[in-house]
Chain A
Amino acid sequence: MNILIGGAAGQGMETIAQLLGKALVRTGYGVLSAKDYMSRVRGGHNFTRLRIGRKTPWTADGPINLLVALNEEAYQIHSADLADNGRIIFDPEEFTPENKNDNQVAVQLEKLAKDAGNKIMANTVAVGATLALLGLQTTETEELLTETFGKELAGKNILALKAGHQEAGKQCETCLTLPDKQERGKQLFLDGNSTLGMAALASGCRFLSAYPMTPSTGIMTYLAGKQDSHDVVVEQAEDEIAAINMALGASFTGARAMTCTSGGGFALMVEGLSLAGMTETPLVIALAMRPGPATGLPTRTEQGDLEFALHGGHGEFPRAILSATHAEDAFYRLNKAFDLAEKYQTPVIFLSDQDFGDTARSIPPFDFSKLCYRRHLVSEDNLKKPYQRYRITENGISPRALPGQFAGETVLADSDEHDENGNIIEDAETRTRMVRKRMKKTALLAAEMDEPKITGEKSGDILLIGWGSTYGALQEARQLLSKTGQQVTHLHFADLWPLRCAQIKSLFPRFKQRICVENNATGQFAALLRRETGLKVDREILKFNGRPFMASEIVREVQKDV
């Protein structure tokens, strides 16, 4: 079941999707909501797709069963994608659809809202109307409104909700059939950026400095909202250069720190990334990708910055790159990023994108006791005096102390090449020792990387290879392809660098066709794979129009010349 809510920016599509989504989740359905919006504050054409299933859907694929058209443009753009017997909710005072037929449910959204107290509640009326078409009562939604607005303000909203429900119910009650429900206990309904913000806070992140940039801003907004209730400070920096340098200062003196940005901001940050490598300062950088180059498509999605994350920053230094595949995994993986950053005193880049960040899904609650919080600091007992920040050790990791941690001992970090004390040096021998010491950490990081996740048999017709946020689309595609009788396995990388190769090396020869699926134009992951393993995929399915993959497109592409 697919619902599309479309209109101009500012008409409250987000509120409708949020309210409806949560109500459906509470009722027992699996729900996904995906945002498609333009880079503007008012007007334009924006829409949110809600997909409802017995299980939680992975993508917003499929024809539209219900179109909530808040303006005529939404009707004109999307009515062609209506499923057979699909319905349209519209406000007859806003526009009149050209072809009058039985699929149209006219609800005076604005007038009913005005009657209930304020025309701004037109979106609540639309929610009520939608519920009626789905054959659902308003009980859950009323509860949600009360929780959100408090008893007093919720009153008018509930009136608006019921008005919409009644009006639509008169015309077409239960004319759309929802899938079966499933008993599965309490479910969360949350978007990727909130998942990452919550994971950061629950990992002990105490300082975030960032410059707002779509699609990463949601992480910043989440943490900013927790400043009064939790031990966290969010600072909006004057630019991304300041953002990363502030985070480094905070990390150096002992607060777990993070910055978040998108490609253009990361471009400004790479100088600081290199500084993190040289000073061996722990740092997590959440890089939410959007299509470039330059300003690109600010509110759209792409996996175009993998190479940039791999190579950004002058000089050579160890780094780890992890990615967001889906919320259930990303929550724990960001926690791992914080742990790796402190354990190995090095920058860790966490790659996500607009599709991951802006998509909300219903998922089981997280287990916070599974999160780890280890500071990896030197203890009083193990402290060698005088303290040396860059002491040469066998594994390359110098014992880390914080400024002020030990009376009489000082800590010196330096962006120049330095000796064990942190003092500037220029001699060849020390330089060589220090490079060796730092680079030893790459091998240690490699051992921490998870093998890619395999779904399916370990041999067969097709091996679908992916990374990051395409996980869901590939899962769905595999299921669809398997129904055609082909043996399809999905291999998915979440930890990207240093690349873990054993699994793929053994799987590769056992499939007839190996296909890498990426949301970019040049096949960046396939190239990385080739470089690191010598393995060359047979085909690449690439999409770079700024929109996420749908399972059906992957299936179509795979079947093209099979």
Chain B
Amino acid sequence: MCNAKDYLINETAWCPGCGNFAIREALAAALAELELPHHQVLLCSGIGQAAKMPHYIKVNGFNGLHGRALPPAIGARVANTSLKVIVESGDGDTYGEGGNHFIHNIRRNPDIAHFVHNNQIYGLTKGQASPTSETGMKTKVQTAGNILPPFNPLSTALVMGAGFMARCFSGEKDHLKETMKQAIQFPGYALIDILQPCVSFNKLNTYGWYKERVYHPENHDPQNWQAAMELARQWGDEIPLGIFYNVPHETFESHFPTLRGEPLATRPFNPADLSSLQDEFL
């Protein structure tokens, strides 16, 4: 029915070998396999290399401001609950500039799948430390090496009460696609932190570096919060991949009775019907 190629449009502006290519292909395949029609999906992004995704995938798109990928997605969900809303952006956009939105939208738990391209570096501004850069990483700005410890998005998400969180690697496209499918179908906020090499600026976390370290833990129970936290915190010689936590809870949208039924966007309206609003002031 749906073909992954139907979702791929335009030429990308990414560097040859960029991890973004595999993420784009995985997303197209996930959408195709879930048989989601182009016009019923909305892809929101901020600014950065990852954030260019709405230009390369044939669905609706809102390519907003740096750090502000999530808030328009929330508004969009409220206005039209029949849309599948996906947010894609980079580590700087999501965990740095948009940190406040990241934290509070986990609390809200809207039905949004959030795919973060985490390359541990700023690409579009040409190679400065990002919130997830390793301590000690030297850049043109962090000349003596990054002095800050890296932000851990997955343990933060867990502590904030995220119902779904996973780590993927762009070098494992099929696994990424399957995880994306689950995230998209998850009823609530679903975060995938996607490890993605930046071939131009991150000379430390390369394909080889990741391939030596990533593994799939056996017998992990994604309903076990403690075990999920242990996996989220594991980093270094061994980096686990997979869905660490998967426990749905009440979504943001479900708290508003008015959001049941026809989307707000398309409900008919006549101002004259509301004339009794003024009675309370008589």
Contact = CB atoms under 8 A, between A and B. Distances in A.
Interface string A238-281: 11011101111111111101000000000000011001000100
Contacts of B274: 201-202, 230, 368
Contacts of B10: 423
B264 A206 contact: yes
B63 A275 contact: no
A402 B265 CA distance: 9
B226 interface: no
A228 B257 contact: yes
B271 A253 contact: no
A38 interface: no
Nearest to B56: A423
Given A246-B78, A248-B75, A422-B61, 8 more contacts: A188-B281, A194-B281, A202-B271, A233-B256, A247-B75, A249-B72, A255-B75, A403-B42
Among A187, A371, A414, max chain B CB count under 10 A is at A414
B135 interface: no
Contact of A245 (B75, B259, B266, B281): B75
A404 B78 contact: no
B78 A237 contact: no
A238 B40 CA distance: 28
A207 interface: yes
Instruction: Report the interface size class on chain A.
Output: 35 or more
Given A188-B278, A232-B258, A255 B79 contact: yes
A202 B277 contact: yes
A470 B82 CA distance: 46
Nearest to B273: A368
Nearest to B102: A238
Going nearest first, the 3 A-B pairs with the smallest beta carbon separation are A254-B265, A249-B72, A249-B75
A447 interface: no
Nearest to B82: A404
Contacts of B61: 410-414, 422
Contact of A404 (B80, B257, B267, B270): B80
Interface in B75-113: 75-80, 82-83, 100-101, 103-104
B277 A198 contact: yes
A246 B271 contact: no
Contacts of B71: 209, 237, 241-243, 245-246, 248-249
Contacts of A149: none
Nearest to A426: B13
Contacts of B55: 412, 414, 423-424
Interface string B16-36: 000000000000000000000
Interface in B23-73: 37-40, 42, 44, 47, 52, 54-55, 58-65, 68, 70-73
B60 A404 contact: yes
A342 B249 CA distance: 36
